[in-house]
Amino acid sequence: MTTVQDVIDRNIEDRTQRMADVEAFLLDARLNERKLTGGEMDTLNSYILREELRYSHADKMTFLETPFHSESQTLRRAKKELPLEMAKDYATDGRQHRKPVRRKRSYYEEWYVNKHARAENAERQRKYNEFTKIQPVETYYI
């Protein structure tokens, strides 16, 4: 009884012969009532498509009619992708058009603003009190 590894070890170069060999193996396994696991089926698929999977050109998606990715090629491609949320607020002119968000002040900036605001408020309060205090009544006789 042949195994999946025996089929792969034959290392047939021609794809049509490879496909015929794998098909004969699957027919033999079916006739002997042998169930193949998902991993064995994936291994046979990779064996049939080995040229496409070994072709590691980075831009093969654009110029091959039916491109296939190996697992490493899929991971490499996924690393370059960005989520759609990151591009949502960018226009065609390259500028970011989103609702503006006020930045948080640092502790030093808060302290500085409060210090000067207190000084200005104290001066304003002093002028207001001077203006609103009881004024002497001036009387004129005609």
> Which residues sit opposite 90 in a β-bridge?
96
* Assigned domain for 51 exists: yes
Domain that holds residue 13: 4-84
Q: Which amino acid is at 133?
A: K
Mean pLDDT value across the chain: 85
pLDDT at 78: 83
Collect all residues with Cβ–Cβ distance below 8 Å to 36 and sequence separation of at least 6: 4, 26, 29, 44
pLDDT tens for each residue of 30-62: 899 888 889 889 888 888 888 777 777 767 767
d(CA 126, CA 121): 9
> Would the pTM count as exceeding 0.75?
no
Dump pLDDT digits (tens) for 54-99: 777 767 767 777 777 777 777 887 888 888 888 888 888 888 888 8
Structure tokens at 28: 């033999």
Q: Tell me if 127 is assigned to some domain.
A: no
CA distances (Å), 40 to each of 21, 89, 115, 136, 140, in order? 15, 46, 74, 106, 115
In this prediction, residues 107-123 reach a mean pLDDT of 91
- pLDDT given for residue 1 in this prediction: 62
Q: How many domains does the chain have?
A: 1
Q: Is residue 122 part of a domain?
A: no
Q: Is residue 102 part of a domain?
A: no
| CA 88 and chain centroid, separation | 13
